[in-house]
Chains A and B, each alone.
Chain A
């Protein structure tokens, strides 16, 4: 594969690369560097000081635990959904697959409006939960519901192709040797699916940390209680405190990057095995 055989010989290839790197540099790297500089403008100590202040700390902790809860929920529900989609002769499976992708298309703010309409204190469903001592709207359950809506596709779409490629002879062997379906599931299927489940959950976790549109309308944004990290950043920007906003968003982005890198590492490690 010599360079001249490529569709774009050297000159054109270089020009294209310069344009691409310039665009990505200006659109993505430059603004992120600006936030990084703003965040550490008062040193790492200054960053820590802002982030460890009660309001910021509570908001970041709320974001982390709700995102983690949704990641666990997705690991279970997403794997089960992928399993049903791949293995069960369900009528209307096409529709089900379509529904799984709904969150990719629906604007997150619209998701928030939907939940407000469903669980608002004056709505039948909302009143029922309120009456049973479990307020949903303006409380952490609303945040978890919003995040669960948005992250449905991640685990399903990451597990599905692996499940489709899975060699069924191993399951048959296990069954022939007398293993119960449950034992076969845990000792044969789960180990094969584990990397894709982990990768999908981590992507969903990172996505949850970044979520703003749906949460800002459903959570009520009460400091220390239902104010998430992203909404805290928003309130600091609006309040004219860019340093606090930058510091908190750097911490959230840091956690999201760790999760994304983890998902990438897992995905890349498993690719050669599949092929």
Chain B
């Protein structure tokens, strides 16, 4: 067995005994490391054998296969995929940026500074904040119940959370209108209490909560399933209370899933359109959000405002996407 480390140490000892003919070796080893270690540390050895086995696996057969296949066909597939993704995803993004600039930056900036636009942006930020906080708490609770508890109807709960992704935003708006709107099921109660839900802020909150429900639940549930409940059981056996076990063991374990879920939640609530349009009615300076502002501006041919707001939302989504990808790669490392 000859790990790279061992070879290096032998070379180093050699160069120490003889004249330093190779100026590489002394540079590699700081003075403190000079008492030469002849056996590499155990984790180093393990890592190198693992590397070797994977290298031999990939190296021998695959390199030759890959060389064979590195043909016109492979290049064609790659070119087609790059072309497809560029046409479908990248060109529209560029079109948005270019056209917004062509509309004129001053006009766009002015349109986004109008009270209506500012109100829509602030309202969207509030909705996002509420969705993040509520899903942070209830999303984790739902995931815990879904993964850690066994009860009749668990499968149904699981299916319902999947289903909520397949419900059209318009249908979500319609359904809450039927429950909470004028002449809806709860109308007498709401009316008596003087609470307006449809075409008011609470309606926007409810619509946003419906569409954002699955994200935190799914990401946290995935991590919970993955880490298992061994550590939680050890904590419980050692006498930790359920509450303490949650804060000290479960929460640190699910952190990465929670971060990813919350970022997805934020992206979704910033961009929700159909449900808030139907349930909120998009009343200027009352129930208008960033997306419904764009829709209204398009209808009124206020291009600067529509494109500017669309670009703003696009840029913010891209920043969130950077966070999403970072959390994702971190969770796949672990």
Contacts and interface: CB of A to CB of B under 8 A. Distances in A.
B179 A30 contact: yes
Given A19-B141, A100-B85, A230-B168, A110 B174 contact: no
Interface in B240-295: 242-243, 245-246, 249-250, 264, 267, 270-274, 277-278, 291, 294-295
A149 interface: yes
A84 B274 CA distance: 35
Contact of A113 (B145, B210, B298): B298
B19 interface: no
B78 A88 contact: yes
A181 B314 contact: no
Interface string B82-126: 101100111111011001000000000000000000000000000
Contacts of B321: 98, 101-102, 104-105
Interface stretch (A47-55, A187-195, A246-254): A246-254
B221 interface: no
Interface in A165-223: 168, 171-172, 175, 181-182, 206-207, 209-213, 216-217
B264 A104 contact: yes
Contact of B90 (A1, A99, A182, A242): A99
A232 to B, nearest CB: 9
A117 B85 contact: no
B165 interface: yes
Contacts of B2: none
Interface string A116-142: 111000010100000000000000000
A211 B271 CA distance: 13
A259 B178 CA distance: 26
A28 B164 contact: yes
A29 B324 CA distance: 30
Contacts of A77: 81, 84
A211 B170 CA distance: 9
B36 interface: no
B90 to A, nearest CB: 7
Query: Chain A interface residue count: which class?
Result: 35 or more
B242 A249 contact: no
Interface stretch (B9-17, B23-31, B39-47, B305-313): B305-313
Interface residues of B, number: 96
A19 B163 CA distance: 20
B318 A117 contact: no
B317 interface: yes
Contact of A8 (B144, B173, B306, B317): B144
A181 B89 CA distance: 30
B162 to A, nearest CB: 6
Contacts of A273: none
Interface in A50-104: 77, 80-81, 83-84, 88, 90, 96-104
A211 B95 CA distance: 22
A81 B172 contact: no
Interface of A: 1, 4-9, 12-13, 16-17, 19-21, 23-24, 27-32, 34-35, 37-38, 77, 80-81, 83-84, 88, 90, 96-111, 113-118, 123, 125, 145, 148-149, 152, 168, 171-172, 175, 181-182, 206-207, 209-213, 216-217, 229-231, 233-234, 237, 242, 245-246, 249, 252-253, 256-257, 259-261, 264
19 contacts: A7-B249, A8-B246, A20-B138, A35-B178, A38-B178, A90-B78, A105-B321, A106-B318, A110-B271, A110-B313, A113-B307, A117-B92, A118-B91, A175-B68, A234-B170, A242-B178, A252-B168, A253-B167, A257-B163
Given A123-B95, A149-B89, 9 more contacts: A1-B233, A77-B81, A103-B89, A104-B264, A114-B93, A172-B62, A181-B73, A237-B170, A253-B167
